[in-house]
Structures are given as structure tokens and as C-alpha cells.
Structure 1
Amino acid sequence: MTTSNTHTLDVFRSTIEVMLVDGVLTREEKRLIIKLASALKLESDEPAAIYEAIQKKVESEKGQNVSPEMAREVYTRVFEVAIVNASLSRDEFRVLAHLRNVFDIEDHEHEKIETELREIVKEKFEDPG
């Protein structure tokens, strides 16, 4: 899992940069940004400050350290937003791959999280009758 060198604002910034590779923020990416900011416990002004720093090509603050537990929680919460759709878009897949890399989430850990989330989604949306 993640090391002590991973920081909240660095993760947020690098994820936004991944999203902006194609020059467009899709609706799916915007949903993921909102969930990511919430899961990272960013202050209300921090996402805009990071976006502005990216646009101006200037350094930004690193933020708080991300513990392995927090990394798993953040990844799970963002993945949950993405998995609600029947299939992941290319943009969502790219964001999740980036977060897996940043947080050092191994294949077996990802599969465990995915299985848990698919069960939750299935229970939420399954017809009870």
C-alpha cells in the first residue's frame, strides 16, 4: 500500500492532471473529482486552488500525509462512484488506474474492493420482489 510520501493535495493534483490529458473534463470525471475531494477531506477552497495552480503551471502545496488505511478508503469511495455505471468509461478507468498506482494498490486488493463494491451495488439495485 501507500507510503508516507503520499499527500492529499498531490494525489488530487496528479489525478486532475490525468483527467486533463485529453483536454476535457467529462461528466464522469467531474463526479469522480467531487468524490475524490470529499474522500481526501480537502478544505472547500483547495480543489479550486489546485486547479488554478495546474492552469498557471505553478507548484502547489502537498497536503496531509495519506495513511494506508486512508488510501484504501479513498480508492474504495472513488471506485464506488465509478462502478455504479454498468461499465467503466475509458476516463474512469484511467483515473482508477492512476489512483491504484499512486496508492500502491495491488491486484488482489483491487479485486477484493471490486468484489465488495459489486455486492453492495447488487444489493442496492436488486429488485426485492
Structure 2
Amino acid sequence: MIDKIAWLHLVDGRILSTRSRGKDVYYLPGGKREPGESDAETLIREVREEVDVEIKPESIEPAGVFEAQADGKASGVVVRMTCFTASYTGALKASSEIEEITWLGYADREKVSAVDKLIFDHLHKAGQLS
């Protein structure tokens, strides 16, 4: 099991997504926790590292947990994505290992990882992702 945290940031029916250098697939901002980190600490650190903004800790809200086959891993290796929404300060920009940030809609579902597809389906069904 790969345990990851993700930030769901939606604006006008589109969701913020990232693409790492050398990759073709888009992922939601976030990543793996470091030893001893809480979900909130992981979210804040990963979002700062990837898209160079500061999450407002008091605004963090749970948004669901999703599991699917992990991309690029052996069959049966599952990623569990614990998702949160949150407000932020700063200007979004690609940082660290991130080559590109973009806004994706439901029509872009085939460009994302397996677990992100489940999240896209959930958000689309809820009327949040167009």
C-alpha cells in the first residue's frame, strides 16, 4: 500500500493538476508523508514543494479517500489517496520536480493516474468537475 495525500483545488469546474519532469501522466498536487508527519503537515509541505503556495492550515477540510492500482508498480500494489481541500496564499507555479501545472476538466480524465480517475469520477458525479 502506498499512502499519499492530495490537494483538490477546483476553480470554475476544473481541477489543478501537475506533471513531473519526464512523465506523461498528470497527478493531483500532493505526495507521500515523511516519518512522523500528520496529514495536514504532509499536505502543506507537498503543496509548497510542488506548486509554491502556502496552504492555510485552518482551511483544510477532508474530501475523501480513494484507492486504485499504483501507476508504474507491480500488479496488486495499491495507492491510497487521502484528499483535502484548502485555501492558500501565493501564486501557483511549477516548482521542484514539477515541469507543468495545468487545469483539467472531466474530458481530460485519460491523462491522469488510475486513482486520480476515481477522484475525477467522484467530482464529476458531484457536479464539481465539468
| TM-score of the alignment, normalized to the shorter chain, above 0.5 | no
**Which one scores higher on RCO, CA 8 angstroms, separation ≥ 6?**
1
Larger helix share, 1 or 2: 1
Structure-1-length-normalised TM-score:
0.30
| Rg larger in structure | 1
Task: Compare the two structures and name the one with the higher strand fraction.
Answer: 2
